[in-house]
Amino acid sequence: MGLTQLALLTCVVIATVTCSSQTNCHQGGNCRLPQCSCSSYSSPLPVKDTPQIIFYGFDDALNVRMARHFRKLFPSDRRNPNNCPISMSLYIQHAYTDYSLVSEFYKKGMEIGVHSVTHTNIDTEAKLADEAERQKNNLARLGSVPKDEIVGWRSPNLKTAGDKQPPTLKRLGYTYDISLTYTVGKRHQKKPWPFTLDYGYPYSCQIQPCPGRTASHKGFWEVPIVSLMDYKGAYPCAYVDGCYNSPTTEDDAFQFLWKNFEDNYQTRTPLGFNMHAAWFERPHNLAAMDRFIKEMTKKDDVYIVSVQKMLEWMKNPIKLSDLHNLESWGCKSA
Protein backbone atom coordinates (compact mmCIF):
# COMPACT_ATOMS: atom_id res chain seq x y z
CA MET A 1 0.00 0.00 0.00
CA GLY A 2 1.41 3.42 -0.91
CA LEU A 3 2.32 5.85 1.85
CA THR A 4 0.07 8.55 0.38
CA GLN A 5 -2.89 6.22 0.50
CA LEU A 6 -2.00 5.16 4.04
CA ALA A 7 -1.76 8.77 5.18
CA LEU A 8 -5.17 9.54 3.70
CA LEU A 9 -6.57 6.49 5.44
CA THR A 10 -5.03 7.02 8.84
CA CYS A 11 -4.25 10.70 9.45
CA VAL A 12 -7.77 11.53 10.56
CA VAL A 13 -9.28 9.96 13.65
CA ILE A 14 -12.47 8.24 12.64
CA ALA A 15 -15.08 7.18 15.17
CA THR A 16 -15.22 3.46 14.49
CA VAL A 17 -18.75 2.10 14.42
CA THR A 18 -18.90 -1.57 15.34
CA CYS A 19 -21.10 -4.31 16.59
CA SER A 20 -19.78 -5.76 19.83
CA SER A 21 -20.04 -9.25 18.34
CA GLN A 22 -21.61 -11.13 15.47
CA THR A 23 -25.19 -10.91 16.66
CA ASN A 24 -26.22 -14.49 15.97
CA CYS A 25 -22.89 -16.09 16.82
CA HIS A 26 -22.67 -17.98 20.10
CA GLN A 27 -19.29 -19.50 20.90
CA GLY A 28 -19.69 -23.06 22.06
CA GLY A 29 -23.27 -23.11 20.76
CA ASN A 30 -23.78 -22.53 17.05
CA CYS A 31 -20.08 -21.77 16.62
CA ARG A 32 -17.48 -24.26 17.78
CA LEU A 33 -13.71 -24.35 17.54
CA PRO A 34 -11.69 -25.20 15.58
CA GLN A 35 -14.05 -24.66 12.63
CA CYS A 36 -15.81 -21.52 13.87
CA SER A 37 -14.80 -18.55 16.04
CA CYS A 38 -17.09 -15.64 16.88
CA SER A 39 -15.81 -12.09 16.71
CA SER A 40 -14.73 -10.85 20.13
CA TYR A 41 -12.90 -8.13 22.00
CA SER A 42 -11.48 -10.49 24.59
CA SER A 43 -9.30 -13.56 24.93
CA PRO A 44 -10.93 -17.01 24.88
CA LEU A 45 -8.95 -17.67 28.09
CA PRO A 46 -8.42 -15.66 31.27
CA VAL A 47 -5.82 -12.94 30.71
CA LYS A 48 -3.34 -14.55 33.09
CA ASP A 49 -3.43 -17.76 31.01
CA THR A 50 -3.18 -16.02 27.63
CA PRO A 51 0.10 -15.57 25.76
CA GLN A 52 0.77 -12.12 24.38
CA ILE A 53 1.01 -12.84 20.66
CA ILE A 54 2.95 -10.44 18.46
CA PHE A 55 2.85 -10.94 14.71
CA TYR A 56 4.63 -9.19 11.87
CA GLY A 57 3.05 -8.99 8.42
CA PHE A 58 5.35 -7.55 5.74
CA ASP A 59 4.09 -6.67 2.26
CA ASP A 60 5.43 -6.38 -1.27
CA ALA A 61 8.57 -7.69 -3.01
CA LEU A 62 11.21 -9.73 -1.22
CA ASN A 63 14.57 -8.48 -2.44
CA VAL A 64 18.16 -8.17 -1.25
CA ARG A 65 17.60 -4.89 0.60
CA MET A 66 14.56 -6.14 2.49
CA ALA A 67 16.22 -9.48 3.26
CA ARG A 68 19.10 -7.68 4.96
CA HIS A 69 16.66 -6.16 7.46
CA PHE A 70 14.86 -9.45 8.06
CA ARG A 71 18.10 -11.31 8.75
CA LYS A 72 19.03 -8.74 11.38
CA LEU A 73 15.65 -8.72 13.12
CA PHE A 74 14.72 -12.43 12.88
CA PRO A 75 17.91 -14.46 13.39
CA SER A 76 17.53 -18.07 14.50
CA ASP A 77 18.97 -17.36 17.94
CA ARG A 78 16.07 -15.06 18.86
CA ARG A 79 13.68 -17.39 20.59
CA ASN A 80 10.24 -17.54 22.12
CA PRO A 81 9.68 -18.89 25.65
CA ASN A 82 9.25 -22.43 24.23
CA ASN A 83 12.83 -22.10 22.89
CA CYS A 84 11.72 -22.04 19.26
CA PRO A 85 12.82 -19.23 16.92
CA ILE A 86 10.60 -16.20 16.48
CA SER A 87 8.84 -15.97 13.12
CA MET A 88 7.04 -13.54 10.82
CA SER A 89 4.68 -13.53 7.81
CA LEU A 90 5.71 -12.28 4.37
CA TYR A 91 2.96 -11.35 1.90
CA ILE A 92 4.83 -11.39 -1.37
CA GLN A 93 4.10 -9.88 -4.76
CA HIS A 94 5.64 -11.19 -7.97
CA ALA A 95 7.22 -8.04 -9.38
CA TYR A 96 10.81 -7.43 -8.19
CA THR A 97 10.87 -10.52 -5.95
CA ASP A 98 14.00 -12.66 -5.72
CA TYR A 99 12.57 -16.15 -5.34
CA SER A 100 15.82 -17.57 -4.00
CA LEU A 101 15.16 -15.37 -0.95
CA VAL A 102 11.61 -16.71 -0.69
CA SER A 103 13.10 -20.19 -0.41
CA GLU A 104 15.65 -18.99 2.15
CA PHE A 105 13.09 -17.48 4.50
CA TYR A 106 10.66 -20.36 4.12
CA LYS A 107 13.42 -22.76 5.18
CA LYS A 108 14.07 -20.52 8.19
CA GLY A 109 10.50 -21.09 9.36
CA MET A 110 8.84 -17.90 8.15
CA GLU A 111 5.31 -17.94 6.76
CA ILE A 112 5.02 -17.19 3.06
CA GLY A 113 1.74 -15.58 1.99
CA VAL A 114 0.43 -13.89 -1.14
CA HIS A 115 0.15 -10.21 -2.06
CA SER A 116 -0.82 -10.62 -5.74
CA VAL A 117 1.11 -10.68 -9.00
CA THR A 118 0.68 -7.11 -10.27
CA HIS A 119 0.12 -5.16 -7.02
CA THR A 120 -2.89 -3.35 -8.46
CA ASN A 121 -6.36 -3.03 -6.95
CA ILE A 122 -7.99 -6.45 -6.97
CA ASP A 123 -11.67 -5.76 -6.41
CA THR A 124 -13.40 -8.26 -8.70
CA GLU A 125 -13.87 -12.00 -8.33
CA ALA A 126 -12.21 -12.74 -11.66
CA LYS A 127 -9.09 -10.68 -10.98
CA LEU A 128 -8.77 -12.05 -7.45
CA ALA A 129 -9.05 -15.64 -8.68
CA ASP A 130 -6.44 -15.05 -11.36
CA GLU A 131 -3.85 -13.28 -9.21
CA ALA A 132 -4.34 -15.37 -6.06
CA GLU A 133 -3.84 -18.55 -8.06
CA ARG A 134 -0.95 -17.35 -10.22
CA GLN A 135 1.08 -15.92 -7.34
CA LYS A 136 0.55 -19.02 -5.22
CA ASN A 137 1.89 -21.03 -8.15
CA ASN A 138 4.85 -18.64 -8.52
CA LEU A 139 5.80 -19.03 -4.87
CA ALA A 140 5.54 -22.81 -5.11
CA ARG A 141 7.35 -23.21 -8.43
CA LEU A 142 10.00 -20.48 -8.11
CA GLY A 143 10.33 -20.27 -4.32
CA SER A 144 10.00 -23.99 -3.47
CA VAL A 145 7.22 -23.39 -0.95
CA PRO A 146 4.66 -26.22 -0.68
CA LYS A 147 1.36 -24.96 -2.07
CA ASP A 148 -0.63 -26.34 0.87
CA GLU A 149 1.41 -24.14 3.22
CA ILE A 150 0.57 -20.94 1.34
CA VAL A 151 -2.69 -20.08 3.09
CA GLY A 152 -2.68 -16.32 3.76
CA TRP A 153 -3.70 -13.45 1.47
CA ARG A 154 -3.29 -9.67 1.75
CA SER A 155 -4.91 -7.44 -0.87
CA PRO A 156 -2.79 -4.75 -2.55
CA ASN A 157 -3.77 -1.31 -1.24
CA LEU A 158 -6.10 -3.21 1.14
CA LYS A 159 -8.79 -3.14 -1.56
CA THR A 160 -10.91 -6.30 -1.51
CA ALA A 161 -13.55 -8.01 -3.62
CA GLY A 162 -16.08 -7.84 -0.76
CA ASP A 163 -18.23 -10.92 -0.34
CA LYS A 164 -16.54 -12.55 -3.32
CA GLN A 165 -13.18 -12.55 -1.53
CA PRO A 166 -13.62 -15.30 1.12
CA PRO A 167 -15.15 -18.00 -1.13
CA THR A 168 -12.72 -17.29 -3.97
CA LEU A 169 -9.71 -17.55 -1.67
CA LYS A 170 -11.08 -20.60 0.11
CA ARG A 171 -11.57 -22.40 -3.22
CA LEU A 172 -7.89 -21.77 -3.99
CA GLY A 173 -6.70 -23.26 -0.70
CA TYR A 174 -6.37 -20.12 1.39
CA THR A 175 -7.58 -20.27 4.98
CA TYR A 176 -7.42 -16.59 5.97
CA ASP A 177 -7.46 -13.01 4.74
CA ILE A 178 -5.60 -10.11 6.38
CA SER A 179 -6.87 -7.10 4.41
CA LEU A 180 -9.68 -5.44 6.38
CA THR A 181 -8.82 -2.50 8.63
CA TYR A 182 -10.14 -1.61 12.07
CA THR A 183 -9.48 1.92 13.32
CA VAL A 184 -8.59 2.55 16.95
CA GLY A 185 -8.97 6.26 17.71
CA LYS A 186 -7.36 6.41 21.15
CA ARG A 187 -5.15 4.47 23.50
CA HIS A 188 -6.65 1.71 25.68
CA GLN A 189 -9.58 1.23 23.26
CA LYS A 190 -10.96 -2.29 22.87
CA LYS A 191 -9.60 -4.17 19.87
CA PRO A 192 -10.94 -7.17 17.98
CA TRP A 193 -9.40 -10.62 17.85
CA PRO A 194 -9.20 -12.74 14.69
CA PHE A 195 -12.43 -14.62 13.92
CA THR A 196 -14.17 -16.65 11.23
CA LEU A 197 -16.74 -15.17 8.88
CA ASP A 198 -19.43 -17.79 9.59
CA TYR A 199 -21.73 -15.00 10.78
CA GLY A 200 -20.56 -12.15 8.60
CA TYR A 201 -18.21 -9.21 9.08
CA PRO A 202 -19.57 -7.20 12.03
CA TYR A 203 -17.30 -4.14 11.98
CA SER A 204 -17.36 -0.85 10.15
CA CYS A 205 -16.05 -1.11 6.58
CA GLN A 206 -13.09 1.24 6.27
CA ILE A 207 -12.23 0.56 2.62
CA GLN A 208 -15.20 -0.45 0.49
CA PRO A 209 -16.28 -3.10 -0.27
CA CYS A 210 -16.14 -5.50 2.68
CA PRO A 211 -17.87 -8.82 3.31
CA GLY A 212 -21.42 -8.18 4.48
CA ARG A 213 -22.76 -8.40 8.00
CA THR A 214 -25.23 -11.15 7.09
CA ALA A 215 -23.20 -13.20 4.58
CA SER A 216 -21.80 -16.49 5.85
CA HIS A 217 -18.36 -17.75 4.84
CA LYS A 218 -18.00 -20.82 7.00
CA GLY A 219 -14.62 -21.58 8.51
CA PHE A 220 -12.78 -18.75 6.74
CA TRP A 221 -10.65 -16.61 9.03
CA GLU A 222 -10.39 -12.84 8.99
CA VAL A 223 -7.41 -11.22 10.73
CA PRO A 224 -8.27 -7.53 11.18
CA ILE A 225 -5.55 -4.96 10.53
CA VAL A 226 -5.98 -3.13 13.82
CA SER A 227 -4.50 0.34 13.74
CA LEU A 228 -1.73 1.47 16.04
CA MET A 229 -1.51 4.92 17.64
CA ASP A 230 1.36 7.08 16.42
CA TYR A 231 4.27 7.93 18.71
CA LYS A 232 2.54 11.14 19.84
CA GLY A 233 -0.66 9.26 20.65
CA ALA A 234 -2.53 11.57 18.27
CA TYR A 235 -3.56 9.61 15.17
CA PRO A 236 -4.16 5.99 14.18
CA CYS A 237 -1.90 4.22 11.68
CA ALA A 238 -3.11 1.17 9.78
CA TYR A 239 0.52 0.40 8.92
CA VAL A 240 3.65 1.00 10.97
CA ASP A 241 5.09 3.02 8.09
CA GLY A 242 1.85 4.90 7.42
CA CYS A 243 1.72 7.18 10.46
CA TYR A 244 0.96 10.86 9.91
CA ASN A 245 3.38 11.58 12.77
CA SER A 246 6.43 9.55 11.84
CA PRO A 247 9.18 9.13 14.47
CA THR A 248 12.43 10.93 13.69
CA THR A 249 14.66 9.44 16.42
CA GLU A 250 15.36 5.96 17.71
CA ASP A 251 13.80 6.77 21.06
CA ASP A 252 10.59 8.10 19.47
CA ALA A 253 10.36 5.02 17.28
CA PHE A 254 10.94 2.70 20.23
CA GLN A 255 8.32 4.49 22.34
CA PHE A 256 5.87 4.18 19.44
CA LEU A 257 6.34 0.41 19.45
CA TRP A 258 6.45 0.09 23.23
CA LYS A 259 3.30 2.10 23.96
CA ASN A 260 1.29 0.07 21.48
CA PHE A 261 2.61 -3.08 23.10
CA GLU A 262 1.56 -1.79 26.54
CA ASP A 263 -1.99 -1.15 25.30
CA ASN A 264 -2.38 -4.73 24.07
CA TYR A 265 -0.51 -6.32 26.95
CA GLN A 266 -3.25 -5.36 29.41
CA THR A 267 -5.77 -7.57 27.61
CA ARG A 268 -3.38 -9.89 25.69
CA THR A 269 -5.03 -8.87 22.41
CA PRO A 270 -2.69 -9.98 19.58
CA LEU A 271 -0.46 -7.12 18.50
CA GLY A 272 0.05 -6.89 14.75
CA PHE A 273 2.81 -4.89 13.10
CA ASN A 274 1.54 -4.64 9.54
CA MET A 275 4.11 -2.84 7.45
CA HIS A 276 6.57 -2.50 4.62
CA ALA A 277 10.22 -3.25 5.39
CA ALA A 278 11.19 0.00 3.65
CA TRP A 279 10.49 1.61 7.07
CA PHE A 280 13.82 0.15 8.14
CA GLU A 281 15.72 2.12 5.49
CA ARG A 282 15.81 4.86 8.10
CA PRO A 283 18.45 3.57 10.53
CA HIS A 284 16.74 4.89 13.65
CA ASN A 285 13.63 2.82 12.85
CA LEU A 286 15.65 -0.36 12.34
CA ALA A 287 17.54 0.24 15.58
CA ALA A 288 14.28 0.81 17.46
CA MET A 289 12.67 -2.37 16.13
CA ASP A 290 15.80 -4.37 16.88
CA ARG A 291 15.75 -3.05 20.44
CA PHE A 292 12.02 -3.73 20.77
CA ILE A 293 12.29 -7.35 19.64
CA LYS A 294 15.20 -7.89 22.05
CA GLU A 295 13.01 -6.65 24.89
CA MET A 296 10.10 -8.85 23.84
CA THR A 297 12.22 -12.01 23.79
CA LYS A 298 13.13 -11.41 27.44
CA LYS A 299 9.50 -11.88 28.50
CA ASP A 300 8.20 -15.33 29.42
CA ASP A 301 4.63 -14.62 28.28
CA VAL A 302 5.31 -13.00 24.88
CA TYR A 303 5.46 -15.03 21.66
CA ILE A 304 6.47 -13.58 18.29
CA VAL A 305 4.89 -15.91 15.75
CA SER A 306 3.54 -15.88 12.20
CA VAL A 307 -0.12 -15.16 11.49
CA GLN A 308 -0.61 -18.79 10.54
CA LYS A 309 0.71 -19.92 13.93
CA MET A 310 -1.44 -17.36 15.72
CA LEU A 311 -4.53 -18.85 14.07
CA GLU A 312 -3.47 -22.36 15.08
CA TRP A 313 -3.59 -21.14 18.67
CA MET A 314 -6.97 -19.47 18.06
CA LYS A 315 -8.34 -22.80 16.85
CA ASN A 316 -7.09 -24.52 20.01
CA PRO A 317 -6.48 -21.95 22.78
CA ILE A 318 -3.91 -23.47 25.10
CA LYS A 319 -2.95 -21.96 28.44
CA LEU A 320 0.34 -20.11 28.57
CA SER A 321 1.76 -22.69 30.96
CA ASP A 322 1.00 -25.52 28.51
CA LEU A 323 2.21 -23.93 25.27
CA HIS A 324 5.09 -26.37 25.01
CA ASN A 325 2.41 -28.93 24.08
CA LEU A 326 1.15 -26.95 21.08
CA GLU A 327 2.66 -28.89 18.19
CA SER A 328 2.15 -26.15 15.59
CA TRP A 329 4.31 -23.78 17.66
CA GLY A 330 7.10 -26.32 18.04
CA CYS A 331 10.36 -26.54 16.13
CA LYS A 332 12.52 -29.35 14.83
CA SER A 333 15.54 -28.37 16.85
CA ALA A 334 15.74 -26.11 19.86
- Report yes or no on 26 lying in a domain: no
333 within domain boundaries: no
Please state, rounded to an integer, the average pLDDT across all residues of the chain.
93
Q: Would you place residue 12 in the very low, low, confident or very high pLDDT band (cuts 50, 70, 90)?
A: very low
Whether 234 is covered by a domain: the verdict is yes
Q: Are 135 and 94 within 8 A, CB to CB?
A: yes
Q: Helices (DSSP H) in 74-201: which residue ranges?
A: 99-107, 125-143, 165-171
How many domains, the chain?
1
Does 195 fall in a domain? Answer: yes
The answer to whether residue 326 is domain-embedded is no
Decide if pLDDT at 231 tops 60. Answer: yes
Task: Look at residue 67 and tell me if it is in a domain.
Answer: yes
Q: Percentage of residues in the chain with pLDDT exceeding 70?
A: 93
Residue 207 belongs to what domain range?
Answer: 3-13+38-316
Residue 327 included in any domain: no
Q: What percent of the residues of the chain are helix, what percent strand, and what percent coil, each to the nearest 5?
A: 35, 15, 50
pLDDT number for residue 23: 73
* Predicted confidence (pLDDT) per residue in 44-103, tens digit: 999 999 999 999 999 999 999 999 999 999 999 999 999 999 999 999 999 999 999 999
Q: Is the model's pTM score more than 0.75?
A: yes
Identify the three-state secondary structure at position 156: helix
CATH of the domain at 70: 3.20.20.370
> What's the CA gap between 176 and 25, in Å, rounded?
19
Residue 27: inside a domain = no
User: For residues 206 and 36, is the Cβ–Cβ distance under 8 A?
Assistant: no
